[in-house]
Amino acid sequence: MKMATYSVLSGSVALITLQNPPVNALSEAVRTGITDAVQRTLKDPQVTSVVICGQNGRFCGGADIREFAGPMSGPPLVPMIHALEAMEKPVVAAIEGLALGGGLELALGCHYRIAHSQALLGLPEVTLGLLPAAGGSQRLPRLIGLPAALDLITTGRHISASEALKLGIVDQVTDDNALKMAVEFARSVVGQPLGPRRLSTRPCHSPPDVDSVLDQALAQVWQRGRGALAPVACVGALRAAATLPYAQGMEKERELMATLFNSGQARALQYAFFSQRVVGKWQPSGARWDNSTTRTIRKAAVIGLGTMGRGIVVALALAGVSVVAVESQEKQLAAARQMVPEMLQRGAGRRGLDTPPGVISFSSGLEDVSEVELVIEAVFEDMALKRRIFSRLATVCRPGTVLCSNTSGLDIDQLAEATQNPALVVGMHFFAPAHVMKLLEVVCGPRSSPEAVATAMVLGKRMGKVSVAVGNCPGFVGNRMLKPYMEQANFLLEEGATPQQVDEALEGFGFPMGVFRMSDLSGLDVGWRVRKEAGLTEQGVEPTRMRQGQRYSPLPDQMCEGGRLGQKTGRGWYRYDGPGGRVARSDPWVQNFLETYRARHGLVPRRIATEEILERCLYALTNEGFNILQDGVAAGPEDIDVIYVFGYGWPRHRGGPMFHAGQVGLARVLEKLEHYQHSHPDVPHLKPSSLLRRLVAAGSPPVQKWREFISKDRVHSQL
C-alpha cells in the first residue's frame, strides 16, 4: 500500500513514515498521507515533536517521476512542506539510505536533519530537466550559502552524509540507527525556539561579488550543458534566492519550473532515466536479468594491450577482478607495464580508494591465462588474427572459461566457430577509454549460451558500465548506425561543405564533438582498417565514387593514404600542434584537397544549409536504428538510445536518436528521408526503413509503445 503512516511513539513523538517502495517517492498517496499526518499532529496535544522517516531504510527518492506524465492531482508539495516548516513542534527528518530531489526538499522543510553515515543526499532534478521546485532552490542557499548550492543544484550530484554534514545540510550523522537517534533528538529539542530553524525565514548569505559568482556559474553551465535548459534555469532560481526576498524567490522558482516542466528536454531526460532502467531488465538469448545463472569472475585475462586493452585491464582491476594482461609485442608490453599502474592509481583515487582492489600481472604469452575464468580479447580488428587467438585460447584455458571479444563490429559467430565450445563466446564491446566510458555492448552470438551472456552482463555492471545486450551483425548497434551517419558527412564534403561546417552543425545540436573532430581523435585508420577488411578500399572496375554498386566516398581513404590519420599524426581533417596535439585548427591543406577532389570528379560545390547537414546525418543514422529494431538486433528503442547517449555523445537532453525521431514526428522523418533518397538514389542508407513506414501508417505511436508494436508486427509477419 503506497501512503504515509502516522503513529505516536511513547505518547509524545509523532512518527510519519513514507511508504512507497522501492524509493518512497512522493506520489499523490504519500503526499496525502503526509498532509493528513501533519493535521493529526497539530490536533494532538500529547504530541510534542515529530519525526519523518522512510520505510525499509530509504528516506525518499523525490517526487514520483512517473506522475509527471499525467495531470497533477493531490496535495502539491510546496504548501505541504510549508505546513511542516510552520509547525510549532520540532520536526526532525531521519535520513536513511537516500534523500534525493523532493525528498531532500522535504527534509529541508524540517527543522532538523539526522542522517545515517551511508545515506546519499542530493538535488538531482537538473538531470531530469527540472529544478528543485519544492522550495529547494530557495532553502538550500539559505542553509549552505550560494556557491555550494550552485554546485549541488546545477550538477545534481549525490553527496555522502559526511559531506552533507561538512556543508551544514544535516545536523548529525550516525553509524547507528538514524531513526532511533532522530527520535531521541526530537525529544531533546522540544521547547527550543524554532524560528532560526525555519530556512525560509533566513537571509541568503551571498558573497560580496554575487553577480560575478552567478555569471561565472552561468558561463560554466552553458559550456557544460551543450544547449541544456535546466542548468541555466537552476542558476536563474539561485539568482532569485540571492537577490530577492523568499516569497519572490519562490514565485521565480515556480515560473522557471513551469517552463521546464513542459519542455521537450524534460520529457527527453525523464525518458533517458527510465530507458536506462528498461535496458537494465535485459533478457536476450534466454538469459534474464533477474534469474540467470552467472559465473562469478574473480580472475580474468585481457589479450592485447593497446589503448583499448589497457583500459579494460584497469576497469577490471577497479572492479576487484585479478587480471592477467597479455601482450606479445615487447614494446607494447613495456608501455603497458608503465601506463597501466598509473591509470589504475588515478582511477582508484577518483573512487576514493587508497589501493586498487584487483591485482594485475603482465605476460607475453597466452599460456599464462590457463587459470582464469574469463578472457577478453582486445587485439586489433583482424578476423584471421582473432580467430587464431580464439582457437588457441580454446586449448589453453580450462573448460568452461568464458571467451569474449572486444571487437567493435566483427562477426562473433565466426570467432565462436574457431573454438570447441561456441556457447561460451560473447562480445564485450567497450568504448575508449574503456576505464572511463560507461557503455558496454554485450554481443550475443547465435550460439552464445544464456550463462555466458548473463556472465558478461553482470561483469559489465560490476565494472560500473551500462551494459546493453545486442545481437550479432556487422557493427552491432552503435557502429552499424554510425556508418550511414559518417557516410553522409563525407558526401556533404564532396558536395561543398567543409569539415568545420559539418562539425559546427552537429556540435550546435549538442554533440560534444562533430564527426570529423571525433574521427581525428579516434584515428582515421580505425575505419580505414575496417573498410579494407570489407574490400571497400579496392577500386576494381567501378568508378572511383562507387563501390559494390553504391555511392562511396574515397575521401577518408585518401586522407589515410597521405598519412593524415588525425591527432596522432598531427594532421587529419584539422591540423594540430604536432603529433598528439589536441587543439583542432582549420587547415588550408584540407580546403585545397577538397577543392581539387571536387574539380577532378566534376562536382560543383554548393552552399549547404545547417538544416540539411543535420537532417541527412541524423536521419540516416536513425533510419538504420529502425532497421536494427526490425532485425531484432536491439530489443527496443530504449536500448539504441542508451547506447547513443552513453557511447556516442548523443545529447542526453535530446533523449537519443529514436526518441528524437518521435519528437520530430515520424511522418516528418519519413518525408525527409524520401526527399533525400529521391536526390541521392545511389545511397541505400537513405531508403526509409519499412518499420518506419509501418509505424507511420499505424499513426506514429509514442516511443514507449514501439516494443509492443514490433513484437506484434513480428508475429503478424510470421503468420
Ligand X SMILES: CCCCCCC/C=C/C(=O)SCCNC(=O)CCNC(=O)[C@H](O)C(C)(C)COP(=O)(O)OP(=O)(O)OC[C@H]1O[C@@H](n2cnc3c(N)ncnc32)[C@H](O)[C@@H]1OP(=O)(O)O
* CB distance 221 to 235 below 8 Å: yes
Please tell me whether residue 289 binds ligand X under the rule CB under 6 A: no
Task: Identify which of residues 138 and 405 has a Cβ nearer to ligand X in the complex.
Answer: 138
Cβ at position 200, least distance to ligand X in Å: 16
Task: Identify which of residues 261 and 362 has a Cβ nearer to ligand X in the complex.
Answer: 261
Residue 251 falls in the annotated catalytic set: no
Q: Out of 33, 62, 427, 475, which residue is the one contacting ligand X (CB under 6 A)?
A: 62
Distances (CA, A) of 282 to 22, 458, 475: 20, 11, 20
In angstroms, rounded to a whole number, what is the distance separating the alpha carbons of residues 659 and 622?
10
Task: Identify which of residues 257 and 618 has a Cβ nearer to ligand X in the complex.
Answer: 257
Which grid cell is 507? 556540435
Please tell me whether residue 66 binds ligand X under the rule CB under 6 A: yes
In sequence order, what are the beta bridge partners of 17?
5, 53
Would you give the DSSP letter of residue 366? G
Q: Out of 11, 22, 70, 193, which residue is the one contacting ligand X (CB under 6 A)?
A: 22
Q: Out of 16, 63, 95, 463, which residue is the one contacting ligand X (CB under 6 A)?
A: 63
Cβ at position 642, least distance to ligand X in Å: 13
Please tell me whether residue 64 binds ligand X under the rule CB under 6 A: yes
Distances (CA, A) of 570 to 335, 560, 567: 21, 13, 5
**124: Cβ–Cβ under 8 A, 6 or more apart, which residues?**
62, 100, 101, 156, 157, 158
SS3 content of the chain, % helix, strand, coil (to 5): 55, 15, 35
Please tell me whether residue 277 binds ligand X under the rule CB under 6 A: yes
Would you give the DSSP letter of residue 688? P
Q: Out of 81, 100, 393, 710, which residue is the one contacting ligand X (CB under 6 A)?
A: 100
Q: Out of 90, 102, 356, 554, which residue is the one contacting ligand X (CB under 6 A)?
A: 102
Q: Which amino acid is at 516?
A: F
Task: Identify which of residues 65 and 530 has a Cβ nearer to ligand X in the complex.
Answer: 65
Please tell me whether residue 257 binds ligand X under the rule CB under 6 A: yes
Please tell me whether residue 159 binds ligand X under the rule CB under 6 A: no
In angstroms, rounded to a whole number, what is the distance separating the alpha carbons of residues 470 and 147?
43
Task: Identify which of residues 28 and 184 has a Cβ nearer to ligand X in the complex.
Answer: 28
What are phi and psi for residue 258, nearest 5 degrees? Answer: -60, -40
Q: Out of 80, 91, 108, 134, which residue is the one contacting ligand X (CB under 6 A)?
A: 134
Cβ at position 198, least distance to ligand X in Å: 19
Please tell me whether residue 214 binds ligand X under the rule CB under 6 A: no
Residue 125 falls in the annotated catalytic set: yes
Name which of residues 25 to 44 contact ligand X (CB under 6 A): 25
What are phi and psi for residue 13, nearest 5 degrees? Answer: -105, 115
What are phi and psi for residue 585, nearest 5 degrees? Answer: -120, 145
Q: Out of 13, 16, 18, 23, which residue is the one contacting ligand X (CB under 6 A)?
A: 23
In angstroms, rounded to a whole number, what is the distance separating the alpha carbons of residues 565 and 555?
12
* CB distance 107 to 99 below 8 Å: yes
Would you give the DSSP letter of residue 341? H
Name the one range near ligand X by CB under 6 A: 20-28, 554-562, 583-591, 645-653.
Answer: 20-28
**Annotated catalytic residue: which of 85, 96, 125, 612?**
125
Cβ at position 695, least distance to ligand X in Å: 25
* CB distance 120 to 98 below 8 Å: yes
Task: Identify which of residues 138 and 501 has a Cβ nearer to ligand X in the complex.
Answer: 138
Name the one range near ligand X by CB under 6 A: 21-29, 34-42, 432-440, 469-477.
Answer: 21-29
3-state secondary structure of 169: coil
Name the one range near ligand X by CB under 6 A: 46-54, 124-132, 506-514, 630-638.
Answer: 124-132
Name the one range near ligand X by CB under 6 A: 57-65, 482-490, 698-706, 711-719.
Answer: 57-65
Task: Identify which of residues 133 and 235 has a Cβ nearer to ligand X in the complex.
Answer: 133
Name the one range near ligand X by CB under 6 A: 60-68, 236-244, 601-609, 662-670.
Answer: 60-68
Please tell me whether residue 186 binds ligand X under the rule CB under 6 A: no
Question: What does the DSSP assignment read for 195-258?
Answer: GGG-GGGS-----TTHHHHHHHHHHHHHHHHTT-SHHHHHHHHHHHHHHS-HHHHHHHHHHHHH
* CB distance 128 to 269 below 8 Å: yes
Nearest alpha carbon to residue 172 among 184, 154, 157, 155: 184
Which grid cell is 523? 584515428
**189: Cβ–Cβ under 8 A, 6 or more apart, which residues?**
49, 90, 92, 111, 112
Which grid cell is 169? 545540510
Cβ at position 362, least distance to ligand X in Å: 35
Please tell me whether residue 346 binds ligand X under the rule CB under 6 A: no
Cβ at position 647, least distance to ligand X in Å: 20
Cβ at position 306, least distance to ligand X in Å: 33
* CB distance 312 to 406 below 8 Å: yes
# residues contacting ligand X (CB under 6 A): 24
Please tell me whether residue 523 binds ligand X under the rule CB under 6 A: no
Q: Out of 77, 272, 326, 673, which residue is the one contacting ligand X (CB under 6 A)?
A: 77
Nearest alpha carbon to residue 389 among 409, 408, 414, 371: 414
Please tell me whether residue 695 binds ligand X under the rule CB under 6 A: no
Which grid cell is 627? 532497421
Please tell me whether residue 99 binds ligand X under the rule CB under 6 A: no
Name the one range near ligand X by CB under 6 A: 120-128, 551-559, 583-591, 667-675.
Answer: 120-128
In angstroms, rounded to a whole number, what is the distance separating the alpha carbons of residues 553 and 525?
15
**Annotated catalytic residue: which of 85, 96, 105, 377?**
105
Task: Identify which of residues 458 and 683 has a Cβ nearer to ligand X in the complex.
Answer: 458
Residue sitting closest to ligand X (CB): 101
Q: Out of 124, 460, 566, 651, which residue is the one contacting ligand X (CB under 6 A)?
A: 124
Please tell me whether residue 119 binds ligand X under the rule CB under 6 A: no
Cβ at position 225, least distance to ligand X in Å: 17
Name the one range near ligand X by CB under 6 A: 19-27, 347-355, 437-445, 702-710.
Answer: 19-27
Please tell me whether residue 70 binds ligand X under the rule CB under 6 A: no
* CB distance 326 to 303 below 8 Å: yes
Residue 456: burial class (beta carbons within 10 Å; 0-12, 13-18, 19+): buried
Strand order in the sheet with 425-430: 360-363, 322-326, 299-303, 374-377, 402-405, 425-430, 439-444, 466-471
Please tell me whether residue 325 binds ligand X under the rule CB under 6 A: no
Q: Which amino acid is at 469?
A: A
Query: Which residues are annotated as catalytic?
Result: 105, 125
Residues at the site binding ligand X, with contacts judged by CB under 6 A:
22-23, 25, 61-66, 77, 98, 100-102, 124-125, 128, 130, 132-134, 257, 261, 277
